[in-house]
Amino acid sequence: MANYIDKYLKIAPSTPVQKTPEPTAVINSTSIQQKQIQPVGTNVLERYLQNQGLTAMSQVKPIDNNIQNDVYKNNLRTKFKNNDAKIMGIIIRNFGAEDKTGNELLREGDIRGNFNNAVNRLDEMKKLGINTLHVLPVNPPGKQNAMGTAGSVYAPADFLKIDPALDDPNDPKDVKEEFRNFINECHKRGISVMLDLPSCASYDLFLARPELMAFEKDGTPKTPQGWNDIRMFNPWKDESKRELNPDLLQMHKDFVDMCIDLGVDGIRADVARTKPTEFWDILTTYSRQRDPEFAWLAESYTYEDASPMLNMNYDRPQDSLRAGFDSYYGQYHIFHEWHKASDLINYVKDNINMSKELEPGKSLIGSFGTHDDISIMNHGGVTYANLVSGIQATLPMLNPYYFDGYQTGDEYLYDFEGTTDKKTDTDSEECTVHRGRPDIFNFSRPLIGKHPEVGDFMKATLDVREEYKDIIEKGSFIPLPVKNNKNDQIIAYARYLNGRTLIVIANRDVNARQGGTIEIPGLSGFQKLNNLFPTTGENSILQADEDKINVDLGPGRIHLFEINTPDIEKSGLEVLKQNL
């Protein structure tokens, strides 16, 4: 251990290092070894993660000042820590596309999405209130054993190249320079860019780099269930010794270097559980030696059975957050399966309580509808979409997240589903789509639905979030008791900070009215109730009374009020505060 610390101090003498009696890590030029963690307490785990992270410092590429933007300063990690990231997920190959022929599958006469025409939509994002883009993978997709006629964006053939199909044929610049220009245009508008890091390899990459790959005992490659176009990496050189695969780790470090050189502000790690915590701790620490504000989002869920998949480990969000991730997906994508209002409240409470076991500022995203999920519209149309917009604009410990098409109510249905196309860029003529989800397999239409009113409501909720920024991002969370609602369909909670109180009252049921009484200690019967959210759908009836509000709520309606209850935290109600 002493030799390792001495080596580290020669590289970064200004960084304090606390020696510990446990010989946690041994490093040489070709391997990283780690003794198995024993479950004997949090302090041991913290020391383990701290010392594992130091291994990332051995060779850190300096920032190229000729590449970095001289004006823009990355603050994405701070956004996550402050619950201030408002995120839109996009697919470059369709984001700026034009389906001029109306075939949905882009052919001759249509315009495919590329980095240059993606710039044309950045002002739209800014106007909606978005300050962060989650860009799905932009690596060249594999062409062998492919899914779809363009190849899945999550089946990369090369982690260190940018897909030439995203190049503007009318621009003499190469595709990497066009990507850098897109990032710079985002930064000019105050929009951060978070790039997706795929979890697996295409079949092409599997053939080219067998030393990176995982195999079953019988010698067959490990393949995630349902994804025949990709193969799994092997993060271990010797798992029994906790010795990582140095070639895989180096490829990921090179990916981080590429991102930072391009100006990317952070990474979303696809299926984070495919790598051990040691791997992520080294990588996140490495990235922050180059850019302390470089942010990491883990696609990690809360429950072990959230997304069971053959050959995948269980989710472990606490470990991921301890290993350097700033935020994680969580479980909001199954909100439509939570049939009781209390299910949502209890989940929020669980996460706030979890935050107290972690360093300050860990958060979630509003994963109600990501590219992996069926369209929000499928669960109740515009009414449900507006309900979700209002909820994620007001919950604690959360960064609102939307996927392109949400703002117009796109149902992600494609006429070409199940058809074939001989003009394919891969070895597959099948126009693969996952029904009800954004197309990640083909060159297809932009994600535009028929309900722009969804975007109007979404923008209004984000405007309100910005107006009441401190209360929503930093305030306490106080579940409000609901009486006389036997089906448990009324969602009610308060957000409080420095004497100011916001209350959210919503009907979880998008099909029927719900009535009941919300108990709010200290509320005056003369309190005026002015809804800060736009009025949509069926009208609700709300009547303030002493210490309560009587409600008859329209289907799926959500309301936000500022009320005068400066002592609500002292009223005896449960008060929860995120570790900030």
**pLDDT at residue 63, as a whole number:** 53
β-pairing verdict for 236-238 and 243-244 = antiparallel
CB-based contact 196:240 (threshold 8 Å): no
Question: What length does the chain have?
Answer: 580
66-80, 128-142, 349-363, 561-575: least confidently modelled range: 66-80
User: What's the alpha-carbon Rg for the chain, to the nearest Å?
Assistant: 25
The mean pLDDT of 299-303, rounded to a whole number, is: 81
Fold exhibited by the domain 475-570: Immunoglobulin-like (2.60.40)
Q: Quick one: pLDDT at residue 385?
A: 98
Sheet bearing 243-244, strands edge to edge: 25-27, 32-34, 243-244, 236-238
What is the model's pLDDT at position 16?
36
**Burial letters 186-213, b for 16+ CB under 10 A, else e:** bbeeebbbbbbbbbbbbbbbbbebeebb
Mean pLDDT of the chain: 89
Give the predicted TM-score (pTM) of the model.
0.89
Q: Is 29's pLDDT higher than 60?
A: no
CA distance 319 to 323: 6
pLDDT confidence of 233, banded at 50, 70, 90?
Answer: very high
pLDDT at 70: 57
Q: How confident is the model at residue 511 (pLDDT cuts 50, 70, 90)?
A: very high
CB-based contact 385:377 (threshold 8 Å): yes
Evaluate whether 249 touches 286 at the Cβ level (below 8 Å). Answer: no
Q: Which segment of 69-73, 444-448, 554-558 scores lowest on mean pLDDT?
A: 69-73
Residue 71 confidence class, pLDDT cut points 50, 70, 90: confident
| DSSP bridge partners of 298 | 269, 328
Query: Out of 215-229, 342-356, 563-577, which region has the weakest mean confidence (pLDDT)?
Result: 215-229
Q: Taking 90 as the threshold, does the pLDDT of residue 6 lie above it?
A: no
- Report the percent of the chain where pLDDT is more than 70: 86
Could you read off the pLDDT of 354-401 as tens digits, one per residue? 999 999 999 999 999 999 999 999 999 999 999 999 999 999 999 999
Is-contact 28 5, C-beta < 8 A? no
- The domain ranges of the chain are 2-57, 77-199+245-467, 475-570
**Residue 443 · residue 112 · CB < 8 Å:** yes
Tokens of 195: 């790039």
- Residues 508, 509, 513, 516: what is their CA dihedral angle, to the nearest 10 degrees? -40
Quote the CA–CA distance of 485 and 236 in Å, as a whole number.
53
- Let me know if the fold of 77-199+245-467 is the same as that of 475-570: no
Task: Answer yes or no: is pLDDT of 521 > 90.
Answer: yes
Task: Output the pLDDT for position 302.
Answer: 73
β-strand partners of 87: 132, 401
Q: What is the pLDDT of residues 261-286, one digit of tens each?
A: 999 999 999 999 999 999 999 999 99
Integer Cα distance of 94 and 112 in angstroms = 7
Phi-psi label, residue 179: left if phi above 0, alpha if psi -120 to 50, beta otherwise: alpha
Residue 313 has a pLDDT of 57
Superfamily grouping for domain 77-199+245-467: Glycosidases (3.20.20.80)
Indicate if the pLDDT at residue 66 is higher than 90: no
Q: Rounded to an integer, what distance in angstroms lies between the CA atom of residue 352 and that of residue 43?
A: 21
Is residue 19 predicted with pLDDT exceeding 80?
no
36 pLDDT exceeds 90?
A: no
- Residue 197 and residue 206 in contact, taking contact as beta carbons nearer than 8 Å: no
**Helices (H), ranges, 223-329:** 246-262, 277-290, 317-322
Give the pLDDT score at 37: 33
Q: How far is CA 194 from CA 166, 248, 298, 347, in A?
A: 17, 21, 12, 26
pLDDT on residue 334: 95
Once rounded to an integer, what is the mean pLDDT over residues 552-571?
A: 98
pLDDT interval class at 210 (50, 70, 90): very high
Q: Give the per-residue pLDDT at 316.
A: 78
Report strand pairing: 401-403 vs 25-27. unpaired
pLDDT at residue 52 above 50?
Answer: no
Place of tokens 């303030």: 544
List C-alpha distances in Å: 204 to 211, 228, 366. 13, 12, 34
Which residues lie below 8 Å from residue 528, measured CB to CB, with a gap of 6+? 544
Q: Nearest 5°: phi and psi at 401?
A: -135, 135
Lowest mean pLDDT, pick from 37-46, 101-110, 504-513: 37-46
Give the Cα separation of 142 and 157 in Å (integer). Answer: 5
pLDDT band at 49 (very low <50, low <70, confident <90, very high): very low
pLDDT of 62 reads: 57
